[in-house]
Amino acid sequence: DVKVTQSSRYLVKRTGEKVFLECVQDMDHENMFWYRQDPGLGLRLIYFSYDVKMKEKGDIPEGYSVSREKKERFSLILESASTNQTSMYLCASSLERTGAGGYTFGSGTRLTVV
Amino acid sequence: AQKVTQAQTEISVVEKEDVTLDCVYETRDTTYYLFWYKQPPSGELVFLIRRNSFDEQNEISGRYSWNFQKSTSSFNFTITASQVVDSAVYFCALREYSNTGKLIFGQGTTLQVKP
């Protein structure tokens, strides 16, 4: 089974801190994604990556950056955390860039910024 | 632009009732894929079904069934004889073949099944 692992289940950080959310997948997928989930808004795409050292902005990239130094690892970075970034963050990976392939998701990181 | 709308924010039913979750989508592509995911309280999204735009055949899997109608741009999900374990947030999603394959989600419907 494909496994997508997010390093932290719950995280509490202070305003202004630099925050790293880590995601690792073990099935050699080239494509990885970061979403945030908020009530009433569903899942919104922050950043995605189709290859090592490659990144593309999603629909809500402001306030975030990403790093993909190795194929299996995709990190989401909050340069200076703010309270409006309190949310559930979900990482996903997929085998295919286009086509019928769905995504495999991690269990999520619930981030609270105080 | 692609868009997915799940107008039902929350649904509450009593066990053994049937329930239908609505999903309406917008896309300009002729080739696209529709998905349903379940998110139980544990948080991980679980894949339920995928449909491509050329296959309008309805599908049944146990107590779950899906009705895909291109004429109304809808991909509705019905749970027959609901159970408490069906309580979760359900997401409908759309993936266009041409638009870098991004998966776009609806707002989600929270289903509560009471014993």
DSSP characters for B12-74?
Answer: EEETT--EEE--EEE-S-SSEEEEEEEE-TT---EEEEEEETT----EEETTEEEEEEGGGTE
| pLDDT tens readout for residues B60-76 | 889 999 999 999 999 99
Closest A-chain CA to B51: A100
Is the Cβ–Cβ distance between B25 and B92 less than 8 Å?
yes
CB atoms within 10 A of CB A45: 20
- List, in sequence order, every residue forming a beta bridge with A106; answer none if it has no partner: none
Q: What integer pLDDT is reported at residue B100 of this predicted model?
A: 65
User: What are the pLDDT tens digits along chain A (114 aa)?
Assistant: 658 999 889 999 999 999 999 999 998 888 999 999 998 889 999 999 988 988 999 999 999 999 999 999 999 999 999 999 999 999 999 887 666 667 889 999 999 999
Distance CA(A31)–CA(A20), nearest Å, equals: 19
Taking CB atoms and an 8 Å cut-off, how many pairs form between chains A and B?
Answer: 65
Q: What integer pLDDT is reported at residue A2 of this predicted model?
A: 59
Structure tokens at B16: 């053994």
User: What residue type is A103 in one-letter code?
Assistant: Y
Q: What integer pLDDT is reported at residue A56 of this predicted model?
A: 92
Q: Residue A39 carries which DSSP code?
A: T
Average of per-residue pLDDT across B9-19? 97
Average of per-residue pLDDT across B98-111? 85
- Flag if B35 and A97 touch (Cβ within 8 Å): no
Q: What integer pLDDT is reported at residue A98 of this predicted model?
A: 64
Share of chain B above pLDDT 70, in %: 97
Q: What integer pLDDT is reported at residue A97 of this predicted model?
A: 67
Residue B22 in this model has a pLDDT that exceeds 80: yes
- Flag if B44 and A108 touch (Cβ within 8 Å): yes
A16-33: b or e for each residue (b if 16 or more CB lie within 10 Å)? Answer: eeebebbbbbeeebebbb
Report the SS3 class of residue B102.
Answer: coil
Average of per-residue pLDDT across B84-111? 89
Distance CA(A48)–CA(A34), nearest Å, equals: 6
User: What residue type is A69 in one-letter code?
Assistant: E
Q: What residues of chain A, 38 to 57, have a C-beta less than 8 Å from chain B?
A: 40-45, 48, 50, 56
Residue B26 in this model has a pLDDT that exceeds 70: yes
